[in-house]
């Protein structure tokens, strides 16, 4: 889509024009008016008489003429020059003032007109001109000065190189919902025939990077109608009423170009829930939201205007905004599944060169939980790695390394471990992998490395599920906790002490165990009672406890008991396979990076 840009003359142009006019007046017009005053020609005798009578005010003696004024300076005279040695003494005795230039004085009426009337008239004329210009730009007499109440919406028209639905993969359900809207805009007759009407608003919700904004661009590329795009933060202004004015102006433009689509990105910036806790005064955000509610479904209809909005905080939106009649349809744009990840990888990989050994199904399994934006980054990182190595196409190793870059960061070559630290990290990572391999419900090991990464990890074990899992049993979660404690268990068995390397493992194991008890109902003591509520599910999933302090203490005890039980299980698995633990750790210590096949071959 091509953005339509309205040519605008900056306000500074008008100020420069006004200054030029004033400068021309002061430097050219006023002196010309002054020069037009008549200079009276008199003979030398008259000049002598006026000198003797003391009637000369100022005098200017030149080579071929003498200019002089009367006492009050109202008239100017000119006479010729005669050889008169005592002239200066007589002029001085008469009280005349000698000057290098006779100042031409205007009449009082002309001076008043030029000094006051004319400048005021110029300012008034320019003020009226600027006022009309700003009102024409801002949308009429009710608009505010300097375009403060004018919306900053970008207007797009059809373009042959825009994004289409074929360019968006992994969000088939969302595409189907939006395709219906595009079809309605192309052929509204078949919907009207049956009495159906399109939703007034469609709300796209989902985690960051899943393609909400890209879907809106695809709608713009397919719809073949005017498309207005604006971010929610652009409505927020310092002065109360500015945001509401921008909303009015946006919908005024949209109604003029109906049928059309208005897209508001990050609508939670202005659509958050209203509360009565404000003490006096007006809230700018609340005024903007009220105006948006009125425009979407008020007394004045907005027929032909379809609102698209995107957010990753749907729970924070005001209920009046998300009710039917305003946002009739809520379209989830979730993280892609295995098939979706493979399709997204192929779309982005079509823009680069890669070798035939790249299997996107394997890459998609390795990138479990990645968003569309992260998958695009993985493909780009693979291409950059190929360029760094001097190759013309990215291979399988480039894609695998790019996944590790996204997950754990780049290799940190400046970090050099001592032999003892390197051996501890090797046993730690083999501890994770061995516990995972000895449990039937754990994902197979794909790769183990002890090369430090920029994320702070000194090593990591990469596990890849064979398929896509949407449900996890209690046993699977317990096995995951045991795998997380496997690194610390290996350190305890081999070295008889512990290090700080298990900090992230401890955090993940504790979070998982707490969720099992407080949210998933996997505790006999609390049964199916929710002790914790999830907030901001698309932005990290913060939780808040909904229980008493006594119950919270019991929850803490159960969390400790659960993690401790799995920790003991991991220690037992490693103790029973001590010979394999030593053999695999020694192999990893020497090679620094081993694959899942090498691991399973030794484990045999």
Handedness of CA 525, 529, 531, 533 (dihedral sign): positive
Contacts (Cβ under 8 Å, ≥6 apart) of 498: 488, 491, 492
Sheet with 305-311, edge to edge strand ranges: 2-4, 154-157, 227-231, 260-265, 305-311, 201-205, 329-332
**Are residues 30 and 115 in contact, defined by beta-carbon separation less than 8 angstroms?**
no
**Are residues 215 and 343 in contact, defined by beta-carbon separation less than 8 angstroms?**
no
Alpha helices, H only, 389-437: 396-408, 419-437
Q: Would you please indicate which residues are annotated as catalytic (active-site) residues?
A: 429
Which value, in Å, is the radius of gyration of the alpha carbons in the chain? 41
Alpha helices, H only, 53-154: 87-94, 108-112, 118-138
Task: Give the Cα separation of 111 and 93 in Å (integer).
Answer: 32
DSSP symbol at 281: S
Can you read off the two tokens belonging to residue 278? 């404000």
Can you read off the two tokens belonging to residue 243? 């945001």
Specify the pairing of strand 154-157 against strand 2-4. antiparallel
* Cβ neighbours, 10 Å, residue 235: 27
Specify the pairing of strand 40-41 against strand 76-79. parallel
- CA angle (164, 167, 172) in 5-degree steps: 95
Can you read off the two tokens belonging to residue 596? 């899942």
E strands in 115-226: 154-157, 201-205
Specify the pairing of strand 329-332 against strand 305-311. unpaired
**Are residues 599 and 584 in contact, defined by beta-carbon separation less than 8 angstroms?**
yes
563 three-state secondary structure: helix
Can you read off the two tokens belonging to residue 462? 């990469």
E strands in 312-351: 329-332
Number of Cα atoms under 13 Å in the Cβ half of residue 257: 18
Contacts (Cβ under 8 Å, ≥6 apart) of 391: none
Calculate the CA dihedral of residues 486, 490, 491, 497 and round it to 10 degrees: 100
Question: 105-109: long-range contacts (C-beta < 8 A, 24 or more apart)?
Answer: 105/37, 105/69, 105/73, 105/74, 106/33, 106/34, 106/37
User: What residues does 202 pair with on adjacent strands?
Assistant: 308, 329
Question: How far from the centroid of its chain's Cα atoms is residue 447's Cα?
Answer: 36
Dihedrals φ, ψ of 231, to 5°?
Answer: -90, 150
| Unique residue bearing structure tokens 């007499």 | 141
| Unique residue bearing structure tokens 């799995």 | 566
Task: Give the Cα separation of 173 and 177 in Å (integer).
Answer: 6
């Amino acid at each position: 889509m091509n953005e339509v840009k309205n040519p605008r003359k900056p306000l500074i142009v008008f100020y420069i024009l006004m200054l030029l006019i004033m400068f021309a007046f002061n430097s050219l017009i006023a002196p010309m008016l002054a020069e037009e005053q008549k200079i009276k020609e008199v003979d030398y005798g008259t000049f002598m008489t006026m000198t003797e009578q003391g009637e000369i005010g100022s005098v200017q003696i030149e080579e071929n003429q003498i200019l002089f004024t009367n006492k009050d300076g109202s008239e100017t005279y000119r006479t010729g020059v005669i050889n008169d040695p005592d002239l200066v003494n007589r002029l001085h005795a008469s009280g005349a003032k000698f000057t290098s230039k006779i100042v031409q004085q205007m009449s009082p009426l002309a001076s008043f007109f030029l000094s006051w009337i004319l400048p005021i008239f110029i300012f008034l004329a320019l003020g009226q001109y600027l006022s009309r210009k700003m009102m024409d730009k801002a949308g009429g007499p009710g608009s505010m000065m300097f375009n403060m109440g004018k919306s900053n919406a970008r207007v797009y028209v059809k373009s042959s190189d825009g994004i289409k639905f074929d360019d968006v993969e992994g969000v088939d359900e969302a595409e189907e919902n939006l395709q219906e809207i595009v079809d309605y805009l192309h052929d509204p007759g078949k919907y009207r025939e049956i009495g159906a009407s399109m939703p007034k608003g469609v709300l796209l919700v989902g985690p960051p990077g899943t393609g909400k904004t890209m879907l809106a661009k695809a709608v713009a590329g397919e719809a073949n109608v005017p498309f207005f795009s604006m971010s929610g933060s652009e409505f927020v202004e310092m002065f109360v009423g500015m945001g509401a004015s921008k909303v009015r102006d946006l919908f005024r433009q949209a109604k003029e170009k109906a049928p059309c689509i208005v897209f508001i990105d990050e609508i939670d910036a202005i659509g958050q829930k209203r509360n009565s806790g404000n003490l006096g005064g007006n809230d700018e955000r609340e005024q903007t939201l009220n105006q948006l509610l009125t425009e979407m479904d008020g007394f004045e209809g907005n027929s032909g205007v379809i609102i698209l909005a995107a957010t990753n905080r749907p729970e924070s939106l005001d209920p009046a905004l998300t009710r039917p009649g305003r946002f009739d349809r809520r379209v989830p744009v979730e993280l892609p599944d295995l098939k979706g990840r493979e399709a997204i990888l192929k779309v982005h990989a079509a823009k680069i060169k890669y070798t035939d050994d790249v299997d996107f199904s394997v890459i998609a399994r390795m990138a479990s939980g990645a968003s569309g934006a992260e998958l695009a980054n993985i493909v780009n990182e693979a291409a950059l790695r190929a360029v760094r190595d001097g190759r013309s196409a990215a291979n399988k190793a480039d894609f695998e390394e790019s996944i590790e870059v996204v997950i754990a960061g780049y290799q940190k070559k400046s970090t050099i471990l001592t032999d003892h630290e390197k051996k501890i990290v090797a046993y730690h990572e083999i501890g994770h992998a061995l516990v995972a391999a000895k449990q039937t419900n754990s994902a197979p090991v794909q790769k183990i490395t002890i090369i430090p990464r920029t994320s702070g990890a000194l090593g990591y074990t990469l596990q890849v599920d064979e398929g896509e899992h949407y449900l996890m049993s209690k046993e699977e979660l317990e096995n995951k906790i045991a795998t997380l404690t496997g690194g610390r268990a290996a350190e305890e068995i081999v070295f008889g002490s512990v290090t700080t390397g298990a900090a992230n493992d401890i955090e993940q194991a504790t979070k998982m165990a707490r969720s099992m008890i407080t949210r998933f109902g996997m505790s006999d003591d609390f049964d199916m009672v929710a002790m914790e509520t999830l907030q901001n599910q698309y932005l990290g999933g913060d939780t808040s406890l909904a229980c008493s302090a006594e119950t919270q203490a019991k929850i803490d005890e159960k969390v400790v008991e659960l993690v401790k039980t799995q920790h003991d299980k991991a220690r037992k698995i490693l103790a029973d396979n001590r010979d394999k633990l030593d053999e695999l750790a020694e192999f990893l210590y020497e090679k620094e990076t081993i694959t899942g096949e090498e691991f399973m071959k030794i484990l045999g």
